[in-house]
Amino acid sequence: MKDFNNKTIVITGAGSGMGRAYALEFARLGSKLALNDFDASGLQETVALLKGTPAKRVLSKAFDVGDKNAMNSFASEVKAKLGNAHVIINNAGVGGGGQPVWAMDDQSYERTLQINFFGVVYGTRAFLPQLLDNGEGAIVNVSSVFGLVGTPNTSDYCASKFAVRGFTESLMVELQESPLSVHLIHPGGINTNIAKGAPNGEEFTRKFLKTDPADVVREVIQCIRSGKQRLVTGHQALPLWLMSWGISLEKRNRLLYAQFRKLLDPKVYARVWRKAP
């Protein structure tokens, strides 16, 4: 796709961060916007920011992307009120439980996978028929650089983002001869509130989350226009991507551990750290 004027763009997680940046940028391009977020107040703030922009129409709905019935209902409402979707951006996500495997509770795994992975699956499947009916369109699924490498205290988050990667790469092959394009995004340290409320979340945000979301959004739009399928971008994204394939797993794990060790809680890790001889 080259032109987004008067085209229907669906964006999940539009209440803040990357999702809000997508909404503002596509509004400037004259699109019709279908916006979702679990946070109703954040979503309304985004809608308010769109007033006075060239956006043709704006439809917003607050719901959990991990709710399949709610996603299917949203797809039906979008079609009825805005027409078939042309682009679906599965952006919504949560940061995870922020604990090592032995300290994480089952609910953290279930919640993180339900939102970060199944939310992408539900969004893709709900809107894919509309894109196929158009004979054109794009699917943008947001993974993470943590969908390229595993990092400590993020096993639930990494599992979800690796799953998004596998799902999307399979979809790319399945739609190889279709008129649709599929794009897999691996953001690095983007300045969003993804780590808000997590253990050491403020320190993690200060150290790693530095890239302006608007910069990434413009890169994603260029990928849609050019057909580029994978985008690895953002603070420290390139070294993590190189690390994911360029060195041995053993060396990679040592480097990652050294980088993140200062963020680990000694009380939680005491039971696994080696005792001095």
157 is catalytic: yes
Identified catalytic residue from 122, 157, 257, 269: 157
The 3-state secondary structure of the chain, one letter per residue: CCCCCCCEEEECCCCCHHHHHHHHHHHHCCCEEEEEECCHHHHHHHHHHCCCCCCCEEEEEECCCCCHHHHHHHHHHHHHHHCCCCEEEECCCCCCCCCCCCCCCHHHHHHHHHHHHHHHHHHHHHHHHHHHHHCCEEEEEECCHHHCCCCCCCHHHHHHHHHHHHHHHHHHHHCCCCCEEEEEEEECEECCCCCCCCCCHHHHHHHHCCECHHHHHHHHHHHHHHCCCEEEECECHHHHHHHHHHCCHHHHHHHHHHHHHHHCCHHHHCCCCCCCC
Q: Are 188 and 145 in contact (CB under 8 A)?
A: yes
Could you list the active site residues?
A: 157
